[in-house]
């Protein structure tokens, strides 16, 4: 999983009773990268308006 390799997501594996349970969440690095991406998109939109 590419996002896991570059540490943008965190994977937690556990068991609930006998059933495996996997959950995913954004890491601090992933949240920062997403914010930067949104800022870049916003800059593009604002650039097109002017």
**Phi/psi at 14 (nearest 5 deg)?**
-155, -175
**Bridge partners, 14 (sequence order):** 21
Residue 3: closest CA among 27, 20, 36: 27
Residue 3 near residue 9 (C-beta atoms within 8 A): yes
49: pLDDT strictly greater than 80: no
Show the domain range for 12: 2-49
Q: Tell me how many domains the chain contains.
A: 1
- Model pTM above 0.85: no
The tens digit of pLDDT for each residue in 17-47 reads 999 999 999 999 999 999 999 999 999 999 9
């Amino acid at each position: 999983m590419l996002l896991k390799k570059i540490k943008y997501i965190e994977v937690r594996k556990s068991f609930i009773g006998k059933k495996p349970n996997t959950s995913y969440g954004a890491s601090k690095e992933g949240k920062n990268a997403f914010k930067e991406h949104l800022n870049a998109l916003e800059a593009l939109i604002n650039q097109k308006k002017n």
